Amino acid sequence: MPTHFADALHQRLAAGASPICVGLDPVLDKIPPTLRAEHPAPADAIHHFSRGVIDSIRGLAPAVKFQSACYERHASQGVAALEASMRYARDAGLLVILDAKRGDIGISSEHYAAAAANAGAHAITLSGYLGPSTIAPFLASGLAVFVLVRTSNPDSDVVQAQRLADGRTVAEMMADLVHTLGASHLSTRGQSSVGAVVGATKAAEAAALRARMPNQIFLIPGYGAQGGTASDVRAMLTPSRQGILVTASRSVIYPQANSGEDWASAINRAAKSFAAEIATVITG
Amino acid sequence: MPTHFADALHQRLAAGASPICVGLDPVLDKIPPTLRAEHPAPADAIHHFSRGVIDSIRGLAPAVKFQSACYERHASQGVAALEASMRYARDAGLLVILDAKRGDIGISSEHYAAAAANAGAHAITLSGYLGPSTIAPFLASGLAVFVLVRTSNPDSDVVQAQRLADGRTVAEMMADLVHTLGASHLSTRGQSSVGAVVGATKAAEAAALRARMPNQIFLIPGYGAQGGTASDVRAMLTPSRQGILVTASRSVIYPQANSGEDWASAINRAAKSFAAEIATVITG
């Protein structure tokens, strides 16, 4: 039986890691020019950049999140690069989250789940708009899931902040669904393999969402570049100061290099800084 | 400037086609054994089956819908098969809908849009849970979109039938969003390139959804196998008896062959029968 995602994460945190997740959103025009010159084929460049990022963050970040769209953009070669990069991350001891935001009826979800599991993912992001049956096949295949509850983009309010007749927002309704689905998938420590995506920019709602999802790991985008702050993240902690996995993408994988510093070292430094910052959030 | 999706569909319907869309959901264990023997590699078998279906339905169905999950299941080779099959369908004069149900923040949506457009899609299915900015990049890339409004799976009620404080259901709220987004993307005949996925199994709500989305083409799954009937579909027509594209997958691509009939002929017969049935719905 595979290790429960929450237990695998806990092991890494107990060993001293900060609850961060580096987002791999590789786009060609931001990849270091030297690497591009070595690997002229776009999908090759993206794969080798992904490997470089993974080498630079292993031991620092417990998890890495692959933005599927950035790889899919380069067609089947890009998908091959995604698969190879996910395998590389898994072999490097990282927890692998495929940020694909899939969501389809049950039979199609089974196919998506098989694809993600075969490619080496430990977890996947999902949309719950089609209901519980869209999520169940991923759990059955042994993947952990992070369901979109409250996203960090400004116009998510148009849907997610709508108020239901019973007083909940649409996001809170989704949170309750996530909590219910997750209740039968708890680790020995009481954390669920059904997690939630909750943007750091929605801190005003963070406490309410945490109250509705006490067993969930929150995958938290929007920190830093998008305006989320330390106190925003702090509001999402459980009473035992756990249950978060804060993601950063561009600030870590495209850092400003110091004079004489190569890109891999700059990424390592950015990841260290991000890890230290989030560690402070928890103890602060 | 590319032809507006609604105009391209209208041309085909005006030439006598029935408003049907054949769903390509290829799974290995349902592909004809002779074809599997000729093409032992799974992705090859799926590609050649897809070509066979396209050859059997061209001239009969104006549109074909590719279930991305069925191809993605076979990793990068499956995605290559999807691309090649979509190109084949496009070259055969069919309107190509990629049923991928993507939905991410704007920059990631741009990547998904580029991938779909480059692969030859005319349209794509989307989730709107993240809000309008998730949809705009697809329109900017010249694709038509079908946004998930009311899906045919039984447990979609858990989310989509929730009642808002203002009296609308979540599905109706999404319908209003679709209508608003679509208003600036109308064809000369007043149909929008922002369409909606509305399951045939939700006929009780069909009239209300049509009233909210007068300019939308409804992409309608759930007819036949899932229980949707002719009167369910009829309730979704516009006053001028237009605005629908009824999909069928398994009933057309995996028909029961008559004695001595090859699989391609059986699919052709099933598509003819489906086309005639839906033509009757409209005139009936």
Q: What is the DSSP string of chain A?
A: -PPPHHHHHHHHHHTT--SEEEEE---GGGS-HHHHHH--SHHHHHHHHHHHHHHHHTTT-SEEEEEHHHHHTTHHHHHHHHHHHHHHHHHTT-EEEEEEEE---HHHHHHHHHHHHHTT-SEEEE--TT-GGGTHHHHHTT-EEEEEEE-SSGGGHHHHTPBBTTS-BHHHHHHHHHHHHHTTSB-TTS-BSEEEEE-GGGGGGHHHHHHH-TTPPEEE--BSTTSB-HHHHHTT--TTS--EEEEESHHHHSPPPPTT--HHHHHHHHHHHHHHHHHHHHH-
* Cα torsion A104, A106, A107, A110: sign: positive
CB–CB of B159 and A118 under 8 A?
A: no
d(CA B205, CA A129): 17
Binary contact (A133, B114; C-beta < 8 A): no
Burial class from Cβ neighbours inside 10 Å (0-12, 13-18, 19+) for residue B21 reads buried
Q: Please give the torsion angle defined by the CA atoms of residues B178, B184, B190 and B191, in that order, rounded to the nearest 10 degrees.
A: -40
Q: Is the per-residue pLDDT at B144 higher than 90? A: yes
Interchain CB contact of B189 with A (< 8 Å): no
Interface test with A, best of B77, B129, B147 (most A CBs within 10 A): B129
CB contact under 8 A, A105 and B152: yes
Q: Say if residues B275 and B246 touch (Cβ distance below 8 Å).
A: no
A211 to chain B, any CB pair closer than 8 A? The answer is no
- Burial degree of B277 (CB within 10 A; 0-12, 13-18, 19+): middle
pTM of the prediction?
0.98
Residue A161, chain B, CB below 8 Å: the answer is no
Angle between helices A75-91 and B106-118 (to 10 degrees): 130
B145 bridge partner residues: B124, B194
**Span A200-213, mean pLDDT?**
89
Question: In the block, which residue shows the tokens 């697809």?
Answer: B138
CB distance from A115 to chain B under 8 Å? yes
Tokens at residue A7, please?
A: 């237990």
What percent of chain A has a predicted confidence (pLDDT) above 70? 100
Q: What is the pLDDT of residue B231?
A: 85
Instruction: Give the model confidence (pLDDT) of B227-262 as tens digits.
Output: 888 888 999 999 999 999 999 999 999 999 999 999
Q: What is the pLDDT of residue A98?
A: 98
Catalytically active residues of B are: 101
Residue B1: the pLDDT is: 60
Residue B216: give its domain's CATH number.
Answer: 3.20.20.70
Contact B115 A162 (CB under 8 A): no
User: What residues of B are in contact with residue A177 (Cβ under 8 Å)?
Assistant: 158-159
- Rounded to a whole number of angstroms, the distance from the CA of B91 to the nearest CA of chain A is 19
More confident: A209 or A227: A209
pLDDT for position A1: 60
Examine the pLDDT at B284 and tell me if it is beyond 80.
no
A282 lies in a domain?
no
**Bridge partners (DSSP) listed for residue A171:** none
Query: Quick one: pLDDT band at residue B106, thresholds 50, 70, 90?
Result: confident
Quick check: A164 and B164 CB within 8 A? yes
pLDDT beyond 70 at A108 = yes
Asked if residue A214 lies in contact with residue A233, where contact means CB atoms within 8 angstroms, the answer is no
Find the helix or strand (DSSP H, E) in which B178 lies. Answer: helix B170-182
Distance from CA of B20 to the nearest CA of A (A): 21
Q: Inform me whether the pLDDT recorded for A161 exceeds 90.
A: yes
Cα gap B229→B38, rounded to integer Å: 38
Is A230 a residue whose pLDDT tops 90? Answer: no
* Binary contact (A130, B156; C-beta < 8 A): yes
Count: domains in chain A = 1
Rounded mean pLDDT of A8-14? Answer: 96
- The pLDDT assigned to A180 comes to 98
Which of B127, B160, B172 is most worth mutating to test chain A (most A CB atoms within 10 A of its CB)? B127
CA distance A14 to A207: 25
Neighboring chain B residues of A107 at a CB cutoff of 8 Å = 25
CB contact residues (below 8 A), chain B span 29-88, against chain A: 67, 69-70, 72-80, 83
Contact flag A157-B131 (C-beta cutoff 8 Å): yes
Q: Does B265 touch chain A (CB under 8 A)?
A: no
The answer to whether residue A155 sits within a structural domain is yes
Q: B-chain residues within 8 Å CB-CB of A164?
A: 162-165
pLDDT at A247 over 70: yes
A171 is a domain residue: yes
CA-to-CA dists, residue A238 to A191, A242, A244, A282, angstroms: 11, 5, 8, 10
Contact criterion met (CB below 8 Å) for B101 and A142: no
| Best CA proximity match to A149, nearest among A274, A234, A63, A236 | A236
With a cut of 70, say whether residue A69 has pLDDT above it.
yes
Give the other-Cβ count within 10 Å of B36's Cβ: 17
The whole-number pLDDT of residue B107 equals 93
In angstroms, how far is CA B182 from the centroid of its own chain? Answer: 17
CB pairs under 8 A between A and B: 173
Subunit contact A69:B111, Cβ cutoff 8 A: yes
Q: Picking from A213-227, B25-39, B245-259, which range would have the lowest pLDDT averaged per residue?
A: A213-227
* A223 pLDDT higher than 90: no
Nearest residue of A to residue B105, measured between CA atoms: A153
Question: Which residue in A has a C-alpha nearest to residue B66's C-alpha?
Answer: A108
pLDDT reported for residue A172: 98
Q: What residues of A are in contact with residue B101 (Cβ under 8 Å)?
A: 102-104, 127
For the cut 70, the answer to whether the pLDDT of residue A138 exceeds it is yes
- Say whether pLDDT at A95 is over 80: yes
B179: closest CA of chain A, how far (Å): 14
pLDDT above 70 covers a percentage of chain B that reads 100
* pLDDT tier, B142 (very low <50, low <70, confident <90, very high otherwise): very high
A189 touches B at CB < 8 Å: no
Distances (CA, A) of A9 to A13, A54, A95, A96, B256: 6, 17, 8, 11, 50
Asked if the C-beta of A247 comes within 8 angstroms of chain B's C-beta atoms, the answer is no
Q: What is the pLDDT of residue A202?
A: 74
Q: Which domain holds residue A231?
A: 5-277
Q: Which of A148, A87, A257, A270 is nearest to B129 (CA)?
A: A148
- Closest CB to A111: pick one of B69, B153, B167: B69
Residue reference for tokens 């794969």:
A47
Please give the residue of chain A at the shortest CA–CA distance from B151: A130
First-residue to last-residue Cα distance in chain B: 37
Q: Give the model's pLDDT for residue A5.
A: 98
Closest approach of A154 to chain B, Cα-based (Å): 9
- A104 vs B contacts (CB less than 8 Å): 69, 101
Contact state of A69 with B115 under an 8 Å Cβ cutoff? yes
- Hey, is the C-beta of B225 within 8 angstroms of any chain A C-beta? no
The answer on pLDDT for B203 being more than 80 is no
Please tell me the predicted confidence (pLDDT) of residue B138: 98
pLDDT at B118: 97
Q: What is the pLDDT of residue B50?
A: 98
- Angle of helix B42-57 versus helix B75-91 axis, rounded to 10: 20
Q: Is A156 on the interface with B (CB under 8 A)?
A: yes
- Strand duo A194-198 + B144-150: pairing: unpaired
For residue A148, list chain B residues with Cβ-Cβ distance below 8 A.
129-130
Chosen for mutation from A86, A158, A178, A202 (greatest number of chain B CBs closer than 10 Å) is: A158
A284 within domain boundaries: no
* A131–B153 C-beta distance less than 8 A: yes
What amino acid positions of A are annotated as catalytic residues?
A: 101
Residue A284 has pLDDT above 80, yes or no: no
